[in-house]
A and B are shown apart, each in its own frame.
Chain A
Amino acid sequence: MLGYIVKTGFSALSWEFLTTFPKDSMTKGGIFPAIIGTLYLIIGSSIVSIPVGIITAIYLTEYASNEKIVRLIRLGVSNLAGIPSVVFGLFGLSLFVIFLKFGTSILAGSLTLGVLNLPVIIRSTEEALMTVPKTFREASLSLGATRWQTIYRIVLPGALPGILTGVMLSLGRAAGETAPIMFTAAAFFTPDLPTSIFHEVMALPYHIYVMATAGTKILETRPLQYGTAIILITLVLILNMTGLILRYRFRKKLKGI
């Protein structure tokens, strides 16, 4: 399937395609603003999800002593993970766009994607933290280190590759999600690059969706659609592959201990 899309769309690719704006009401030209928009959304969402996700995971594995609360939070995390992405879109629309008056903007879209990605980061960070042997912590604590010193100096460095894997996977997801940004961040076309977090942006997945379903020249712009699809797939695959390779090497190292 990927092969088919790449084969068909390859001819549309060129340096120009990547670096220019759309022309002639989207029938020609490139996808530069959509690439930039997607990058902004990835960065914005990770500013939200990475700190909160990692701290939640640290709390669950290192601090929490009350079984009931841990179970409740875990249940919350798995339910959050199960909510349909379009419902996240509704939530983002009502809270960020309308209630907090951010408008359709990078800020609203990033926050929505950030919340969507929280469970991914929490779970993978938890997994990574649990692979650090308990004896390491006990040794550190017995040397007089406080709990935070133990976490910061001993546990986190050991779990870092695993945490990075989760971060990469979540970035890949943020790049590809369409439904949550449809009402919160994405615009069909912007004449300029966004200069503030309150501007709306073009984004690759939304660009594919709109070009493939709306408008009068769907068939004429097929090559552009294929080209955009290839760029999105490449971006997502690079992020995911990096994550998987990191994890693979991390596991190998663990076996060596």
Chain B
Amino acid sequence: MKHLNRKIIYDIILSKFFFIVGLSCLIILFIIMLFLFIEGIPVLNHVSLTDFIFGTSWYPTSDHARFGILPLISASAAVTLLASLLAVPFSLAIAIYLSELAGNLIREIIKPVIEIIASIPSVIIGFFGMVVVAPFLQNNFDLDTGLNLFNAALMLAFMAVPTIASICEDAISSVPASLKEASYALGANRWQTIYHITVPAALSGIWTAIILGISRVIGETMVVLMVAGGAAIIPLSIFDPVRPLTSNIAAEMAEAAVGGPHYRALFAIGIILFIITFIFNIIADYLSGKYKFKEG
């Protein structure tokens, strides 16, 4: 009996231990937030919130340092928008093809290939953009530099396609067969069924995929650091060199004095990125939870 008791106590202690470790993700998330805010918020001693967000000049190292991140925000927005425009239709086509049209064998081959592409380190994609795509753009479009907004968007789209396509594919595959069968029974052909039934039914999943994809594009650092060109200006053409938020942090952190205004400003940019991706993730989570098809 004593032995049994000990086992049960042991079990209870273990379950408490698992609970505490289980909370670690939330704790880590909280600590990340805490440290970003501790390091970033004091930038407001040097610049007002409106000047920080809407200021158009970013000269962190000059004698009269200016910390306006509008050029960086607009660069991030432009790159993200362009990358999404390139990636979303393509991903959707892949997802529809894989879930509705492709045979089993092709699916078994393409799905791992997509996963492999998703696993290529971003620094490799950035490197490819630098040594192959940039010279190509420069020569064929008669540009000053091939390292620009368009190049970055192209590389980011390449990175986003696997993410968006695989989540879309899951969403489309989870549409119950009975819906499609009903559509066929009413005389609809395959394309009509996909267009009018399957895709609308999977729409919340597709939106989740797009939002997660966009969120990854905003946060991607190495690619934009290497191929976006790095000029802190508000882009007027898709061939302008730009400097998105993420690459700005990566490029300047090494030279910013710890605790100085520049250092604070970079952490404040980190806060902005954190908040943006946080919101996107909450939306994605909400959408994916809301309209899930029940199995059966």
Contacts and interface: CB of A to CB of B under 8 A. Distances in A.
B273 interface: yes
A213 B116 CA distance: 26
Contact of A178 (B122, B218, B266): B122
B162 interface: no
Contact of B226 (A90, A169, A213): A213
A99 B34 CA distance: 13
Contacts of A64: 19, 22
Interface stretch (A26-34, A80-88, A191-199): A80-88
Interface string B239-274: 000000010011001100010000000110010011
A63 B20 CA distance: 12
A4 B132 contact: yes
A173 interface: yes
B22 A60 contact: yes
| Most central of A87, A169, A176, A244 by chain B CB within 10 Å | A87
A2 to B, nearest CB: 8
Interface stretch (B3-11, B67-75, B94-102, B181-189): B3-11
B179 interface: no
* Interface range for B: 35 or more
B173 interface: no
A1 B130 CA distance: 13
B126 A209 contact: yes
Interface residues of A, number: 71
Interface stretch (A15-23, A114-122, A128-136): A114-122
Interface string A147-180: 1100000000000000000000100110111110
Contact of A237 (B116, B131, B222): B116
Contacts of B219: 82-87
Given A52-B21, A209-B226, A87 B274 contact: yes
B212 interface: yes
B25 A90 contact: no
A254 interface: no
Contact of B19 (A59, A209, A225): A59
Contacts of A222: 131
A178 B216 CA distance: 15
Interface of A: 1-2, 4-5, 52, 55-56, 58-60, 62-64, 72-73, 75-91, 93-95, 98-99, 115, 118-119, 122, 146-148, 169, 172-173, 175-179, 182-183, 205-206, 208-209, 212-213, 222, 225, 229, 232-233, 236-237, 240-241, 244, 248
9 contacts: A4-B128, A63-B22, A82-B280, A83-B278, A84-B219, A85-B221, A86-B246, A182-B253, A205-B222
Interface of B: 7-8, 10-11, 14-15, 17-19, 21-26, 28-29, 31-32, 35-36, 38-39, 112, 115-116, 119-124, 126-128, 130-132, 212, 215-216, 218-222, 225-226, 246, 249-250, 253-254, 258, 266-267, 270, 273-274, 277-278, 280-282, 284-285
Given A77-B25, A86-B250, A209-B226, 8 more contacts: A63-B15, A72-B26, A82-B219, A84-B219, A84-B274, A86-B221, A212-B130, A212-B131
